Structure 1
Amino acid sequence: MKRLQLLRWSGSVLSPRIRPLNNRCRVQQVYLTPIRLQSSATPALASEQDGTPGGEAVPPPIQKPSPWMAPSPHPEAADHSPKLAALHSRLSLPSKLPLQTLARTLVDPSADPSSRFNNKSLSMLGNDLLSYYMSEYLLCTYPRLPMSVLWAAMYSYIGPRALTSMAREWGVEYAAVPGSEVDPGLLQFKRLPAGSEVDSPPSDTFTKDGELLKRSQSARVIYSNEFGDPREPSESSADGATPHQACANFTRAVMGAVYLHGGRSAAKDFFKEHFMSRHLDIANLFSFSQPTRDLSKLCKREGFAGPVARILSETGRLSHHPVFVVGIFSGEDKLGEGSGGSLDEARFRAAAAALKGWYLYSPLGVRLPSSMEEEGAEPWTPLFVDPGEIIV
């Protein structure tokens, strides 16, 4: 029986070309060269394909791209993540800030220890910027705030819990386990093992020779951080991180990324829109133990007449629920007013109100020192400097 000769064009039918995958899977694809099997090709045709006269077809080696071995997603994957694009638009980030940098802010050091791909450097820069912008705002707007209240206000605005709340309000979701196959729009961090201790000792104490001793407020001013804590705020470690630590690092990293790519003006606008827009009642941060004594010392230091408590009104003195309204006067000037179920309680609240009125003084037309960095800034106007809080 005569053997049929295959046509030259039959090679495209017997060995169809394997098309490469799309660009999104370029990192993991394997490129194959179309080779006809020896059993389905004539010797002449096989020799023309591999270039060997009359020899057997030798398939060329398969070329494989170098695999992505990092524990975090590939930077090119950020261009195809709808979560990242939505987050970029939701935060109104500058167009100069690329999606690759935004994806890097979502990689905690506990997920990827490499400083080239995690957000540690961006988080450090963002933390310094947040501390500077917030401290200058509070010190210039309320120059008489006591240090303890200033630390509490700083913590309320840019503390770890506040930053965690902001990250959740921005719609950031957690990845179950970090890895290169995870969507770059998810926050990746390695969770701490169960039973790990993350709480720090009280901020007004320090350890010496294994004993917990009291730290003075002067030492806290010199050696503490922006929150009055003698130690650095808890950060992510190689063992893992808590969701609060990962969210706080991410929020700080976004601030640092905006500053690097958008510049100083974009960073200040981002700070005003996302941090200064949050309302904080600073009056609720005060806690007085002996306000009448403090008020007497304040009047003596400032040269005012000694404070005198006077009853302004009362009702139900002989009933089970009396109400007294007491005012604190310095000469003819009323410093504060308070009400309570007894005369002592009303006088206590009136003295506390007088102290709050003094500490919460805010001058008009406040200019921040950072405003002088802008182009065409007006000449500097000296700020109001208070002699300091009452030292008892």
Structure 2
Amino acid sequence: MTNNLELQGRISASPLTAAEHALAARMGLEELSPKRFLDAIIHPSADPSNTRFAKLSYMGSAALKMYITEYIYFKYPKLPVAPLTATIGEFYAHNVLFDVAQKYGVQKVVCRLPKNYLTDKTIACQSLLALIGALYWERGALACRQFILNNFCYRLSMNYNPLKHYYYVNSILSAHLRRLQKPRAEYSAMYIMGVYSGEEKLGEGFAPNEKQARRSAAMNALRQFYCVRVEEPDLPSSEDYSATPIEDPGVIFPKAGKEFIGN
């Protein structure tokens, strides 16, 4: 096992092994200086003197949250704060971080003590954040932003539902219609359930029973209003950004707590 003095010598001499070169190439980080790259993959459990790891990891975490928040905010400009917050949280969750780390093989290259109170998964996530921080530190905001867009934000599938955390959507739809001063929602009793405001059809849902069909119809009606997607959102961090008006979110959604139903 590599001891601390050897690791400190590696950082000061800045050599990269073949595996480390390969990781940098897979992640598109070849332009990082070897010293900064090693700062991000030598975990403090293996070398306590590497205090730069924590700072890079902190910076990477902050950059990740900032650019994910920006992307989701402008991708769904009508989405209220509570579902917006829940959606943003999904994209830098621990399992997502590990998926990205695993895709590149970070966990196979990071230097750590084999016996440690932190799991391999946690250390891989911390090292990935440190690599993102190193990218931000050396190559700037635009390069870091593009890496995050490519590896985190573009995971957003076409059929992703930002309101999936909410179960009692019927009451939210009623509040939405009251705000718009439209007639209350009425449901047609069939397995293919339609929801109407007066004669205007707001949405429809499909389910094996009436209760689920009503919920599905209400969910689809809300999605048509609040989950409008901007395919290529104009982001403030881009070079040619032009300010756009902030959308009125309308109904104040409750926090996804008791109503949370998972993925």
TM-score w.r.t. structure 2 length? 0.82
- 1 or 2, which has the higher helix percentage? 2
Q: Give the CA deviation at 1:110.
A: 2.4
Letter in 1 for 2:221: A
Unaligned 5+ segments in structure 2 are 256-263
Instruction: Provide the C-alpha distance between the structure 2 equivalents of 1:121 and 1:336, rounded to a whole number of angstroms.
Output: 49
Q: Give the CA deviation at 1:354.
A: 1.5
Aligned to 1:85: 21
Q: Give the CA deviation at 1:162.
A: 1.0
Q: How many residues align?
A: 252
Aligned to 1:138: 72
Instruction: Provide the C-alpha distance between the structure 2 equivalents of 1:369 and 1:150, rounded to a whole number of angstroms.
Output: 18
**Structure 1 70/243 Cα, relative in aligned 2: closer, same or farther at 3 Å?**
same
Letter in 2 for 1:100: K
**Structure 1 113/79 Cα, relative in aligned 2: closer, same or farther at 3 Å?**
closer
Instruction: Provide the C-alpha distance between the structure 2 equivalents of 1:108 and 1:386, rounded to a whole number of angstroms.
Output: 43
Per-residue deviation, residues 34-92 of structure 1 (Å, max 9, x unmatched) = xxxxxxxxxxxxxxxxxxxxxxxxxxxxxxxxx97365562256535111111121112
1:357 alignment partner, one of 190, 199, 224 = 224
Instruction: Provide the C-alpha distance between the structure 1 equivalents of 2:149 and 2:136, rounded to a whole number of angstroms.
Output: 13
Aligned to 2:90: 156
Instruction: Provide the C-alpha distance between the structure 1 equivalents of 2:15 and 2:7, rounded to a whole number of angstroms.
Output: 18
**Structure 1 351/327 Cα, relative in aligned 2: closer, same or farther at 3 Å?**
same
1:241 alignment partner, one of 110, 118, 121 = 118
Letter in 1 for 2:201: K
Aligned to 2:104: 170
Instruction: Provide the C-alpha distance between the structure 2 equivalents of 1:120 and 1:330, rounded to a whole number of angstroms.
Output: 54
**Structure 1 244/355 Cα, relative in aligned 2: closer, same or farther at 3 Å?**
same
Instruction: Provide the C-alpha distance between the structure 2 equivalents of 1:114 and 1:76, rounded to a whole number of angstroms.
Output: 12
Q: Give the CA deviation at 1:331.
A: 2.2
The runs of 4+ residues in structure 1 deviating greater than 6 Å are: none
Per-residue deviation, residues 158-191 of structure 1 (Å, max 9, x unmatched) = 22211111111102344xxxxxxxxxxx212346
Per-residue deviation, residues 137-159 of structure 1 (Å, max 9, x unmatched) = 11122134354533442333222
Q: Give the CA deviation at 1:309.
A: 1.2
CA RMSD of aligned residues (A): 2.8
* Alpha carbons 1:94, 1:266 under 8 Å: kept: no
Aligned to 2:145: 268
Instruction: Provide the C-alpha distance between the structure 2 equivalents of 1:378 and 1:346, rounded to a whole number of angstroms.
Output: 42
Letter in 1 for 2:91: Y
Aligned to 1:36: none
Q: Larger Cα Rg: Structure 1 or Structure 2?
A: 1
Per-residue deviation, residues 4-39 of structure 1 (Å, max 9, x unmatched) = xxxxxxxxxxxxxxxxxxxxxxxxxxxxxxxxxxxx
Unaligned 5+ segments in structure 1 are 1-66, 175-185, 194-239, 315-323
